[in-house]
Amino acid sequence: MDFSIPQPLQDLLNRARQFVETELYPLEPLFLQQGFNAVEPELQEKRRKVKQLGLWLPQISKEHGGLGLNLVEHGLFSAELGKSPVGHYAFNCQAPDAGNMEILIQYANDQQKKKYLEPLLAGEIRSCFAMTEPDFPGSNPVWMGTTAVKDGDSYVINGRKWYASGGEGAAFAVTMAVTNPDAPPHERASQILVPAGTPGFILETATPFMGSRGEGWASHAEIRYDNCRVPRENLLGPEGGGFRIAQERLGPGRIHHCMRWIGVSERAFDLMCRRAIERKIAPDRPLAFQQFVQGWIAESRAEIDAARLAVLHAAWVMDREGSKGARDEVSLIKFNVANTMMRVLDRAIQVHGGLGFSDYTPLALFYRNERAGRVYDGADEVHKISAAKRILKKYAGLG
């Protein structure tokens, strides 16, 4: 087994790292202290630069204007971008747009591709994914209240969604709604493209989230569909195929999150080590001399290294066998990496003392935002149960 990174890929990773460090780190104070909208004009400038440098859309095939990286390669690339809270956005591979691009590439017809996919790939618009509902359990998404009823050439949608990340300012929402209530549970819902501004598509608010409502891409919209009428041609993929498409979207999506979390963990680790060296607790006595701190550094390094290998391995399996073939690996990394990241962030904040709680470093933002990784795209418990059941099934087979 060869763990070395081929030179052309290493060059690409070096370029991504350099861009993140020199162009994006300086934008962070503005983002951290004044919010996404304050930094967006400059981010658009950075996006133009990323395009010029030929680093745009790392996760998308060359045919669609991307770099055509496979999942293992993107895993390494994404870990570089994840070091900054605006890294993925600058390269147009941010959630939820990256997942929406994937399903549009796979399921959109030519007309839908022109209207929704092409401007999304170009970075001219943003999108959101509206599946979860306040009144139904997201952990059991086949049970939902939003309906889309056929009326002539239209669907009429009614229901409520929340946590549609990036919904504020999005040009359209990929909306999950029940179209076939009498079908088996996994064939009841469909995905429908709903342009913002459609009458009856009401952005009610952004959910107050860990002390802040956020704004624009960095917020989570609550949406009400009130007799919202869209043409039937806005159906994405087959009717009743919504759940299957969502599953296909979530497989790579979960790996993408884990890859980004490696980047978050690396940034926290880097900040922790620097602070340990720089901060003196007495003249000539840096924090790094303390064995507690040394222990946190060694534990963090070991845990991040293990997490990174597990993520790359899951990506390697998915590259070969697809989402279904990699579902065990994905379930295992999903909760494992989310928890590793939180432990590393916690230690890094502890080493920073009061500074760690301020918005003078990205640690507090990471801590607030990334805690949700243990819930979205499948809560820890759900992944643990499904992985354990499949493991035990193999043992049951042994008799």
Ligand X SMILES: Cc1cc2nc3c(=O)[nH]c(=O)nc-3n(C[C@H](O)[C@H](O)[C@H](O)COP(=O)(O)OP(=O)(O)OC[C@H]3O[C@@H](n4cnc5c(N)ncnc54)[C@H](O)[C@@H]3O)c2cc1C
CB of 165 to ligand X, least distance (A): 4
Nearer to ligand X, 98 or 131 (CB): 131
Among residues 210 and 298, whose Cβ is nearest to ligand X?
210
Tell the smallest beta-carbon distance from residue 174 to ligand X (Å): 9
Mapped onto helix, strand or coil, the DSSP state of residue 176 is strand
H/E stretch holding 285 reads strand 285-286
Closest to ligand X by CB, 76 vs 250, is: 250
- Do 362 and 346 form a contact (C-beta atoms < 8 A)? no
Residue-wise DSSP of 183-248: S-GGGSEEEEEEETT-TTEEEEEEPPBTTB--BTTBSEEEEEEEEEEEEGGGEESSTT-HHHHHHH
- Among residues 53 and 375, whose Cβ is nearest to ligand X? 375
**Cα–Cα distance for residue pair 65/4, rounded to 1 Å:** 27
- Which residues are 285's β-sheet partners? 282
Q: How far is the CB of 375 from ligand X (least distance, A)?
A: 5
Residues that bind ligand X (CB under 6 A): 96, 129-132, 137-139, 163-165, 220, 372, 375-376, 379, 381-382, 385
Name the DSSP class of 24: I
Q: Which is nearer to ligand X, 218 or 262 (CB)?
A: 218
* C-alpha dist (Å) from residue 340 to 64, 253, 294, 343, 350: 34, 19, 17, 5, 15
The CB-of-176 to ligand X minimum distance in angstroms stands at 7
Say if CB 5 and CB 11 are below 8 A apart: no
Residue 124 CB, nearest approach to ligand X (Å): 20
Shortest Cβ 162–ligand X spacing (Å): 8
Residue nearest to ligand X as judged by C-beta position: 138
**Smallest distance, ligand X to C-beta of residue 199, A:** 22
Cβ-based nearer residue to ligand X, 19 or 116? 116
CA neighbor of 175 nearest in space, from 210, 145, 205, 153 = 145
Pair of tokens at residue 381? 């418990």
| Cβ closest to ligand X, residue 393 vs residue 399 | 393
Closer CB to ligand X, 160 or 275, in the complex: 160
> Which letter does DSSP use for residue 147 in this model?
E
| Smallest distance, ligand X to C-beta of residue 102, A | 14
Could you tell me the CA-to-CA distances from 199 to 12, 134, 161, 228, 366 in Å, in that order? 45, 22, 16, 6, 36
Strands 201-206 and 220-231: antiparallel
